[in-house]
Amino acid sequence: MFGAAFYGEQGTLVLDGTDCRWFDKDDKPVRQVSGAASEVPHLQNFLDCIRTGGRPNADIAEGHRSTLLCHLGNIAWRTGRTLNCDRLTGRIVGDRGAGQFWRLAYRRGWEPGG
């Protein structure tokens, strides 16, 4: 089971599969909501946008920016350094050690442009 916990000054929110649970600051349960997890609405929106040319709820540009921040945060944590990034590309500048985490190791024959 996969989940996430968010800790705040007034308590904790735990998302675990199809459950959402709130705990007060003394770790006592306050509320729980359960529901069915489904990818159907997300997939339907994607297919509808292909058909209509509309903009999907999970837009690729937003996904890129969100993922970029996670990757840069992980690289900063691994190197123990503050990163300097190009504002337009999001690429790391001036730190070859951190830059090594940016590149992928491709199997022979699968290199880009090959």
Per-10-residue mean pLDDT, the chain, length 114:
82 89 95 84 92 90 83 92 88 90 83 74
Determine the Cα–Cα distance for residues 11 and 20; give it in Å rounded to an integer: 13
Q: What is the tally of helices (H) and strands (E) in the chain?
A: 3, 4
Pair 15, 45 in one domain = no
In a domain, 107, yes or no: no
Q: Report the C-alpha gap between 15 and 9 in whole angstroms.
A: 18
Residues 29, 51: one domain? no
Q: Which amino acid would we find at residue 48? A: D
| Domain containing residue 9 | 3-34
Spatial distance between the Cα atoms of 23 and 13, rounded to a whole number of angstroms? 7
Question: What's the pLDDT at 2?
Answer: 66
pTM of the model: 0.50
